[in-house]
Amino acid sequence: MKKIMVGNHAVSWGVMLSRAEVISAYPITPQTSIVEELSVLCADGRLKAKFIPVESEHSAMACVIGASAAGVRTFTATSSQGLALMHEMLHWASGSRLPIVMANVNRSLGSPFNIWGEQSDSLAQRDTGWLQIYCESNQEVLDTVIQAFKIAEKVLLPVMVVLDAFVLSHTAEPVDIPDGNIVGQFLPAYKPQFRIDPQDPRTFACFAPPDFFMEFRYKMQKAMLESQAVCKEVDGQFGEIFGRGYGLVEAYRCEGADLILMTAGAITSTARVAVDALREKGRKVGLLKLRLFRPFPKDEVLEVIRHAEKVAVVDRSLSLGLGGIFAHELRAAMCNEPVRPPIYSYITGLGGRDTTLQTINEIVYQTYERSEPDEQSIWIGMRG
Amino acid sequence: MSDQILLNTEKDIPYQPISLGSMEWNKTGTWRYLRPRFDNKVSPCNEGCPAGQDIEAAMVLIGKGRVLEAWDLFKEENPFPGVCGRVCYHPCESSCNRAEFDEAVSINALERFMADTAFKHGRRVGLKREKKKEKVAIIGSGPAGLTCAYHLARLGYGATVFEALPVLGGMLRVGIPEYRLPKKVLEAEIDQILEMGVNTEINTRFGENLLQKDLKEYAAVFLALGNHVSKRLGIPGEDGDWAMSGVEFLRKISLGKEVPLGKRVVIIGGGNTAIDTARTAQRLGAKPSILYRRTREEMPAFPAEIHEAEEEGIDISFLVSPVRLFLEDGVKKLECVKNRLGPPDEDGRRRPVEVKGSNFLLEVDQVFTAIGEDADLTALPKKIGIENHAIPTDERGATKQEGVFAGGDIIQQPHTVVHAIGSGKRAAIFIDCFLQNKKWERVFDAVRIGERGSLSMRRYLLDEKEWETKSTKTVRLQDLNLDYFEPKKRKRPTKAPMAKRQGTFEEVNIGFPEETAVAEAQRCFNCGVCNLCDNCYIFCPDVAIRKENGNNVIDYDHCKGCGICVEECPRDAMIMEEEGR
């Protein structure tokens, strides 16, 4: 069944199809309509979940941590400042090894106050032990939510599904809604090994003194690294059943490319159009879409960019004092590779400024122009 | 430390930070610098009940369907729940925190429900104390006298009640009409008092056939003569044979005598006696109307009774004063004058001021005066002294003569049944202190409920060691955690249909059926008293509330003193204190 729906509702419907049992969230623009729709689905019985309204995102995450520890499938959603407020709890969720799924609608962080799209909010949480998957379309959003539950419950780490403010969250597209029964076969009920149970009392998120703490972190890191294979496997299974797969990364028209653009999220769609036009003109430009960001799929990325002459990373994020975050993640991942293309870093579209075809073309043009990358990221689309 | 599990290698450690054994060895209580404690406080209804009844605890029991046990609790304090459940003006309800939230709990109707249920089951009061040698004389068998006798009997004293009239009960018997308080209810409760071994001597009037010297054999005396003498209007014609006091009329009707009424009956006054007189006259076939010199605002009668009188069609004229009664051409006439309200007088009510030239005449068959009652205290010894028509007493109810206590309407307190009952109980406690040489000041502090003079017999009978463990704080609405309460409509008892309120003395109020009573009792907030709602147990993040013998207790070995239990207690039954180290 196809429906026209905004990205936020695609999230909600993905959660409904995944049969989450406890949902707790606090409204924040541009995420609010995710929980609004979920509360409707809960109220009218289409989703048999306990919906817990709370007074803050910190509490929302605390609620789903408790519920997840009690052994049920849980979901929350937030954005920007809300995600920042959750920060402490994000560590508790992952450290407790709870398979919570959260949607984050990318939005800038104040000050100055701004509600528009930027990927800095989720990228600032990259070290919290959450898997992060960036989506390009509303269809991908719905599919990724379903995949995220399966991945999380396999690797016992929380997963953040990331979508762009307004460009996805509030823009309607046709979305194919998979059959609930088939989703049920793909994603069976969550059966935890341990859960809060008065008959078998245990302390969850217990105390670990210096003689034990490192081992817990080591196991998390191992799980994080292994999750890459799980993500790939789950996406593969999903593709077999539903006919749609996304991969950890996607190479678009990269055959024989001398310049490869790297994007994540909805900018990818704009870049596709730009690449098509450039290819028309005979330019050998390709596009690498980064879908899984944490853990960073280094081998998959390397496979795509190995033979390119240049890579230009389009960052809608900023690590202050460093530069574009995807670019620097890529530079760090590649630094020990003997054969690797130089990596050019561009900052664009902060605080929701439109990233247009012209922006992409400018990035391509500047990358061709330069003989080697600048140390600092180059800002595109600034006022003159 | 015995059940610690050894984790030697990385592989022994679980993937999830989860305890594989008990963590109780970790005594987190040492982190605490504040300490929560269960601390039951005073509920405002208990403080507001002059008879000192444990209303809050009774509500818990009724709410659980344990009605007879609730009645037992009430009977610890008051021998007359059946009476009070009908005629009390229920200051408990005006003190009820729920009154500020939505509507007060129907405590009065629930008291009656308990009494009716106990009556149906033939329930009796237990607790007999060992006999004491001292005997106590009680003068007057009204609510004060009989309550004092009841408690003295339970304390083991031989009590003798002297009554001037041929019947027991005082104003309960001869002042309150049958339709408000059926005789069989009163008699049943009096019988239970007599069953405890109280002696009575009827037709024995102090100063006539009972003299001071006759009381020599008694170790203490309780004076509860009551106010049976109607105040005089002081107008010409008042002593004519077609004018009578309302009190005398009610007494005569109660005793089965006939009073010729005619049709046009006028009652002068605005108190409960005026209302009772009018409603009784109406039931005997008259067409009564009430004249009151001020307005409805200033009427001393209880609003519920004024309302019921008006429901029954009794006319009340306001701002009218009588001038004289006279006969003219064989027609009985009452001359009246109209008033307006002037400035307030010493009791704060606005004084009526005559409107010159507004006189008018009423043709009447019978006039009743009901402007208040006084006691006949002429036979009392001089030493006791009389101030403002009342016997002065101290906090114990003791008079200026040693061993003589007083209560009811003859002391300075509101003239209500429940105050009379409270004063009777107070006298019993302090007569016991007097006779057993107990320091009464300490007792007073130990047994008082809040700040409004209510005393608890149950606390008095506790072991003295338990007297120390009492909070004196009365819980107010702002002390409650209102997140846990929802508005819920007050249940009202049903009344007899109007047809049964005309020409008959059948009881007007019918009371609650059981399920209504249970639901109404469950509306009670249980202010200040733990009712095992288990919020503390549920919210404690350290599982430091434990269940022990059906009670919640705090496990101080593990309580970190976070205070969540105290915060989430709906009813202010817990407090935080500084940790004493």
pLDDT (tens digit per residue) in A139-148: 999 999 999 9
Q: Write out chain A residues lying below 8 Å of B13, CB-based.
A: 212, 215-216, 219
Q: Is residue B6 part of a domain?
A: no
Q: Return the residue of B nearest to A202 by Cα.
A: B19
Q: Write out chain A residues lying below 8 Å of B20, CB-based.
A: 202
Same domain, A214 and A347: no
Q: Write out chain B residues lying below 8 Å of A201, CB-based.
A: 22
Angle at B475 between CA B470 and CA B481, to 5 degrees: 120
Write out the two tokens for B8.
Answer: 């030697």
Q: Nearest Cβ partner of B18 from A204, A219, A223? A: A204
CATH assignment at residue B417? 3.50.50.60
Angle at B172 between CA B169 and CA B174, to 5 degrees: 85
Query: Where among B393, B417, B437 does a domain terminate?
Result: B437
Mean pLDDT of all residues in B366-387: 90
Same domain, B250 and B367: yes
Mean pLDDT of all residues in B536-564: 94
Write out the two tokens for B425.
Answer: 């109980």
Same domain, B379 and B337: no
**Mean per-residue pLDDT of chain A:** 96
Same domain, B105 and B190: no
Total domains present in chain A: 2
Q: What's the gap in Å between the CA of B11 and the closest CA on chain A?
A: 9
Chain A / chain B CB contacts < 8 angstroms: 41
Using H for helix, E for strand and C for coil, what is the string for B187-251?
A: HHHHHHHHHCCCEEECCCCECCCECHHHHCCCCEEEECCCCCEECCCCCCCCCCCCEEEHHHHHH
Q: Is residue A358 part of a domain?
A: yes
Q: Which structural domain range is residue B433 located in?
A: 135-228+375-437
Q: Is residue A287 part of a domain?
A: yes
Segment 287-346 of chain A within 8 Å of chain B by CB: none
Q: Is residue A275 part of a domain?
A: yes
Same domain, A85 and A114: yes
pLDDT confidence of residue A93? 98
Q: CB–CB of B17 and A156 under 8 A?
A: no
Q: Return the residue of A nearest to B20 by Cα.
A: A202
Same domain, A337 and A237: no
Same domain, A213 and A284: no
Q: Nearest Cβ partner of A212 from B7, B22, B26? A: B7
Same domain, A232 and A292: no
pLDDT confidence of residue B345? 85
Q: Is residue B15 part of a domain?
A: no
Q: Return the residue of A nearest to B17 by Cα.
A: A205
pLDDT band, residue B37 (cuts 50/70/90): very high
Query: Where among A186, A219, A242 does a domain terminate?
Result: A242
Q: Nearest Cβ partner of A97 from B7, B16, B26? A: B16
CA pair distance A151, A147, nearest whole angstrom: 6
Q: CB–CB of A216 and B18 under 8 A?
A: no
pLDDT (tens digit per residue) in B84-137: 999 999 999 999 999 999 999 999 999 999 999 999 999 998 766 789 999 999
Same domain, A234 and A253: no
**More confident: A233 or A198:** A233
Question: Which of B287, B308, B306 lies closest to B298, judged by CA?
Answer: B306
Question: Which of B19, B4, B7, B16 lies closest to A216, judged by CA?
Answer: B16
Q: Which of B8, B18, B543 to mutate: most A Cβ within 10 Å? A: B18
Write out the two tokens for B227.
Answer: 């106010």
CA pair distance B549, A60, nearest whole angstrom: 37
Q: Nearest Cβ partner of A206 from B10, B15, B19? A: B19
DSSP assignment letter at B489:
P
Same domain, B81 and B199: no
Same domain, B566 and B487: yes
CA pair distance A285, A263, nearest whole angstrom: 13
Q: Nearest Cβ partner of B17 from A95, A201, A223? A: A95
CB-based burial label for B254 (10 Å; 0-12, 13-18, 19+)? buried
pLDDT (tens digit per residue) in A174-211: 999 999 999 999 999 999 988 988 778 788 998 888 98
Tell me: pLDDT of B470 over 80.
Answer: no
CATH assignment at residue A268? 3.40.50.920
Q: What's the gap in Å between the CA of A288 and the closest CA on chain B?
A: 35
**Mean per-residue pLDDT of chain B:** 93
Same domain, B243 and B310: yes
Same domain, B224 and B106: no
Q: Nearest 5°: phi and psi at A376?
A: -90, 155
Total domains present in chain B: 3
Q: Is residue B126 part of a domain?
A: no
CATH assignment at residue A204? 3.40.50.970
Same domain, A97 and A121: yes
Q: Return the residue of B nearest to A98 by Cα.
A: B16
Same domain, A156 and A24: yes
Same domain, B223 and B202: yes
pLDDT (tens digit per residue) in A328-357: 999 999 999 999 999 999 999 999 999 999
Q: What's the gap in Å between the CA of A81 and the closest CA on chain B?
A: 28
Q: What's the gap in Å between the CA of A215 and the closest CA on chain B?
A: 6
Using H for helix, E for strand and C for coil, what is the string for chain A?
A: CEEEEEHHHHHHHHHHHHCCCEEEECCCCCCHHHHHHHHHHHHCCCCCCEEEECCCHHHHHHHHHHHHHCCCCEEEEECHHHHHHHHHHHHHHHHCCCCCEEEEEECCCCCCCCCCCCCHHHHCCCCCCCEEEECCCHHHHHHHHHHHHHHHHHHCCCEEEEEECCCCCCCEEEEECCCHHHHHHHCCCCCCCCCCCCCCCCCECCCCCHHHHHHHHHHHHHHHHHHHHHHHHHHHHHHHHHCCCCCCEEEECCCCCCEEEEECCCHHHHHHHHHHHHHHCCCCEEEEEECEEECCCHHHHHHHHCCCCEEEEEECCCECCCECHHHHHHHHHHCCCCCCCCEEEEECCHHHCCCCHHHHHHHHHHHHHCCCCCCCCEECCCCC
Q: Nearest Cβ partner of A219 from B15, B23, B26? A: B15
Could you tell me which residues come within 8 angstroms of residue B438 by beta carbon, excluding any fewer than 6 positions away?
B432
Please name the residue that has the structure tokens 């005793």. Answer: B255
Radius of gyration from C-alpha coordinates of chain A: 20
Same domain, A38 and A165: yes
Same domain, B247 and B333: yes
Q: Is residue A230 part of a domain?
A: yes
Same domain, A227 and A261: no
Same domain, B476 and B351: no
CA pair distance A82, A86, nearest whole angstrom: 6
Could you tell me which residues come within 8 angstroms of residue B443 by beta carbon, excluding any fewer than 6 positions away?
B429, B430, B433, B460
What own/partner pairs with CB < 8 Å and gap ≥ 24 does B164-167 have? B164/B140, B164/B203, B164/B204, B164/B205, B164/B206, B164/B208, B165/B202, B165/B203, B165/B251, B165/B255, B166/B202, B166/B203, B166/B255, B167/B202, B167/B254, B167/B255
Tell me: pLDDT of B240 over 70.
Answer: yes
CB-based burial label for B370 (10 Å; 0-12, 13-18, 19+)? buried
Q: What's the gap in Å between the CA of A207 and the closest CA on chain B?
A: 8
Q: Is residue A189 part of a domain?
A: yes
Q: Nearest Cβ partner of B23 from A194, A206, A223? A: A206
pLDDT confidence of residue B4? 60
Tell me: pLDDT of B5 over 80.
Answer: no
Same domain, A188 and A51: yes
Tell me: pLDDT of A113 over 80.
Answer: yes
Contact A223/B at CB under 8 A: yes
Query: Where among B348, B371, B394 does a domain terminate?
Result: B371
Q: What's the gap in Å between the CA of B478 and the closest CA on chain A?
A: 22
Q: Which structural domain range is residue A256 located in?
A: 249-379
Same domain, B80 and B50: yes
Could you tell me which residues come within 8 angstroms of residue B400 by beta carbon, excluding any fewer than 6 positions away?
B383, B384, B385, B392
Q: Is residue B272 part of a domain?
A: yes
Q: Is residue A305 part of a domain?
A: yes
pLDDT confidence of residue A29? 96
Q: Write out chain B residues lying below 8 Å of A223, CB-based.
A: 15
Q: Write out chain A residues lying below 8 Å of B16, CB-based.
A: 96-97, 156, 193-194, 204
C-beta neighbour count of B183 within 10 angstroms: 16
pLDDT confidence of residue B1? 43
Tell me: pLDDT of B13 over 90.
Answer: no
Write out the two tokens for A209.
Answer: 């003194």
Query: Where among A242, A269, A287 does a domain terminate?
Result: A242
Q: Is residue B379 part of a domain?
A: yes
Q: Write out chain A residues lying below 8 Å of B17, CB-based.
A: 95-97, 204-206, 208, 216
Query: Where among A190, A215, A242 does a domain terminate?
Result: A242
Query: Where among B371, B390, B418 does a domain terminate?
Result: B371
Tell me: pLDDT of A149 over 90.
Answer: yes
Is the previous residue joined to B50 through a cis bond, with omega within 30 degrees of 0? no
Tell me: pLDDT of B414 over 60.
Answer: yes
pTM: 0.74
Contact A217/B at CB under 8 A: no
pLDDT confidence of residue B128? 67
pLDDT confidence of residue B127? 64
Q: Nearest Cβ partner of B15 from A97, A201, A202? A: A97
Give SS3 for B521. Answer: helix
Q: CB–CB of B20 and A212 under 8 A?
A: no
Q: Is residue A234 part of a domain?
A: yes
Q: Write out chain A residues lying below 8 Å of B15, CB-based.
A: 97, 156, 219, 223
Write out the two tokens for B311.
Answer: 């429901």
Q: Nearest Cβ partner of B17 from A96, A201, A218? A: A96
Segment 148-207 of chain A within 8 Å of chain B by CB: 156, 193-194, 201-207
pLDDT (tens digit per residue) in A280-289: 999 999 999 9
Mean pLDDT of all residues in B505-528: 94
pLDDT band, residue B2 (cuts 50/70/90): very low
Q: What's the gap in Å between the CA of B528 and the closest CA on chain A?
A: 28
Q: Write out chain B residues lying below 8 Å of A97, CB-based.
A: 15-17
| Contact status, residue A170 vs residue A39, Cβ threshold 8 Å | no
pLDDT (tens digit per residue) in B317-372: 999 999 999 999 989 999 999 999 999 988 888 899 999 999 999 999 999 999 99
Tell me: pLDDT of B469 over 70.
Answer: no
Same domain, A154 and A267: no
Tell me: pLDDT of A366 over 80.
Answer: yes
Residues of chain B in Cβ contact (below 8 Å) with chain A: 7, 10, 13, 15-20, 22-23, 26
pLDDT band, residue A56 (cuts 50/70/90): very high
**More confident: B164 or A193:** B164
Write out the two tokens for A128.
Answer: 């919290």
Same domain, B354 and B270: yes
Q: Is residue B565 part of a domain?
A: yes
pLDDT confidence of residue B212? 86
Q: Is residue A384 part of a domain?
A: no
Using H for helix, E for strand and C for coil, what is the string for B124-190?
A: CCCCCCCCCCCEEEEECCCHHHHHHHHHHHHCCCEEEEECCCCCCCCHHHHCCCCCCCCHHHHHHHH
Question: Which of B46, B116, B50 lies closest to B81, judged by CA?
Answer: B116
| Helix A80-95 × helix A57-69 angle, to 10° | 30
